[in-house]
Amino acid sequence: MAKTFKHGTHPPENKITENSPLVEFAVPEKLYISLSQHIGAPAQAIVEVGDSVKAGTLIGKAGGFVSANIFSSVSGKVTNIVTLPTATGGEAKHIEIQNDFRYETVSLPEITVPTKENILERVKEAGIVGMGGATFPTHVKLSPSKPVDTLIINGAECEPYITCDYRLMLEKTDEFIEGVKLLMTALSVEKAYIGIENNKKEAIELLAEKCPPKIEVVELKSKYPQGAEKQLIYSITRRVVPTGGLPMDVGVVVNNVHTAYSVARAIKGEPCYMRAMTVSGDGVEKIGNYFARTGLTYKFIYDECRGNVAEEVTCKVISGGPMMGFAQANLKPATTKGTSSLLFLSEIRISKSDTTACINCGRCGMGCPMNLLPNEIEENTLHRNFEEVIKLNVASCIECGVCTYNCPAKRPLLQAIRLAKRIIKEKGLK
Ligand code: SF4
Ligand code: SF4
């Protein structure tokens, strides 16, 4: 029977690209490679205007332990260093590269005898981050300060629309499994689970057939947010991560499917500058799964994919999934290691109803996988009663958006929660 967690919701899956094989995305004349493609300190630029680069040239050096190296994704010349908006609403320095369309590459030396030490070093050197969208530097995650006995690979892909991890599991199966084994060696664990939602039967069957016994494929119920770390750990192991705790507190490290695949590529010598990405929605014609280089502007992707869809049809662009992704104010941001998906949606896909008063129906709390009371958090946030917001355990919110999705009054609950968290942090309240 498919394993699961308590509460959550089941939005329409809309996995309309699930049968589209991965193909390489077009590449523009100019690319904009962000120095902030990860959680943590931005990388420091180590190239100057006029420098020649190849795909795989280190152009940004990690700016601290919680940071990651950045590489050029094409060969060409550095033409500028500019500040541009990011998909998450901030700004970051970007290296502008004029593509010479020669696609010359530079690789790291292949590691033929992987060990715990050289895998960890290579993951750091190759700039690998959590490729599910979280973008936490993987070398930090692979260095837990507490003993762990279990690796969980997140193959849930529970966000609607997104299908790139599914395609990786189907099309890059051997490299993906190799990546899981490398992660196990890096963590010195003997057991790994790959959790996959049961709307991906083909991947479950294929991996169950190909994985060795120490890597167990676990069928999960299709339910959002099945891929959230705490929910995934509970579904698979029944271990409960304590409030304010981390997966390592219950002996677990969680990595995403794409991260495992990227680790396998890095051991062969390829630094992290290309990723699988889903382009979907009814606002463009050429939907599909693509291998996209970092540094492609969203405008370039839109222009490549729009086809015969009139410009006025596309009225919302989301970077990431519709539940946890970021709506875009413009198409200036460029793809990063964390860009798992770009959704272009028409008006009929967007909820148009206005926000009305809370009717105290309790649906937001009933769906909350962390057992919170989102309506009370929102109300206290609006009244700036942050002591009460803290007591309501706002810190436990995993920002899954289930409450907002379930609310019949269309209350912006998640937005209020994010605001409350930011103010509490800024004010240093406890
Ligand atoms: S309160 Fe947080 S954890 Fe609970 S449903 Fe809302 S966003 Fe998700
Ligand atoms: S779901 Fe919406 S209307 Fe219902 S209690 Fe929560 S905030 Fe109020």
Nearest protein Cα to ligand 2, atom 7:
375
Give the Å distance between the CA of 27 and the centre of ligand 2.
45
Same domain, 250 and 383: no
The verdict on residue 220 lying in a domain is: yes
Same domain, 157 and 260: yes
Domain finish residue from 268, 297, 317: 268
Same domain, 257 and 388: no
Provide CB contacts within 8 A for 311, sequence distance 6+. Answer: none
Number of domains in the chain: 2
Give the Å distance between the CA of 369 and the centre of ligand 1.
7
Same domain, 228 and 122: yes
pLDDT attached to residue 133: 81
**Beta strand 274-280 with 341-346: parallel, antiparallel or unpaired?**
parallel
Same domain, 264 and 367: no
Mean pLDDT in consecutive groups of 10 residues from the start of the chain, 430 residues: 95 97 98 95 96 98 93 98 94 97 97 98 97 92 97 98 98 98 98 97 98 98 96 98 94 98 98 98 97 98 96 92 94 97 91 88 97 97 96 95 95 94 91
pLDDT per residue as tens digits for the range 164-184: 999 999 999 999 999 999 999
Spatial contact of 56 and 105, defined as CB atoms under 8 Å apart: yes
The verdict on residue 11 lying in a domain is: no
Cβ of residue 402 lying under 6 Å from some atom of ligand 2? no
Nearest protein Cα to ligand 2, atom 8:
358
Give the Å distance between the CA of 381 and the centre of ligand 1.
15
Query: Tokens 């981390």 belong to which residue?
Result: 246
Domain finish residue from 222, 239, 268: 268
Nearest protein Cα to ligand 2, atom 6:
364
pLDDT attached to residue 353: 76
Give the Å distance between the CA of 397 and the centre of ligand 1.
5
Tokens for 268, please give them.
Answer: 């062969």
The verdict on residue 175 lying in a domain is: yes
The verdict on residue 292 lying in a domain is: no
Cβ of residue 374 lying under 6 Å from some atom of ligand 1? yes
The verdict on residue 79 lying in a domain is: no
Q: In 10 A of CB 406, how many CB atoms? A: 20
pLDDT per residue as tens digits for the range 347-358: 887 877 789 999
Same domain, 135 and 247: yes
Cβ of residue 362 lying under 6 Å from some atom of ligand 2? yes
pLDDT attached to residue 348: 83
pLDDT over 90 for what percent of the chain? 93
Domain finish residue from 226, 253, 268: 268
Same domain, 261 and 123: yes
Nearest protein Cα to ligand 2, atom 2:
407
The verdict on residue 417 lying in a domain is: yes
Nearest protein Cα to ligand 1, atom 4:
368
Cβ of residue 401 lying under 6 Å from some atom of ligand 1? yes
Q: What are the angstrom distances between the C-alpha of 182 and each of 14, 319, 336?
A: 33, 30, 24
Q: What are 150's strand-pairing partners?
A: 191, 252
pLDDT attached to residue 347: 86
**Index of the ligand 2 atom closest to the CA of residue 363:** 1
Give the Å distance between the CA of 289 and the centre of ligand 2.
36
Q: What is the pTM of this model?
A: 0.95
The verdict on residue 139 lying in a domain is: yes
pLDDT attached to residue 143: 96
**Index of the ligand 2 atom closest to the CA of residue 378:** 7
Rounded to 10 degrees, what is the CA torsion of 265, 271, 272, 274? -80
Tokens for 388, please give them.
Answer: 């009460």
Cβ of residue 377 lying under 6 Å from some atom of ligand 2? no
Cβ of residue 68 lying under 6 Å from some atom of ligand 1? no
253: domain range? 116-268
pLDDT attached to residue 396: 94
pLDDT attached to residue 65: 86
**Index of the ligand 2 atom closest to the CA of residue 406:** 1
CATH of the domain at 226: 3.40.50.11540
Give the Å distance between the CA of 19 and the centre of ligand 1.
31
The verdict on residue 228 lying in a domain is: yes
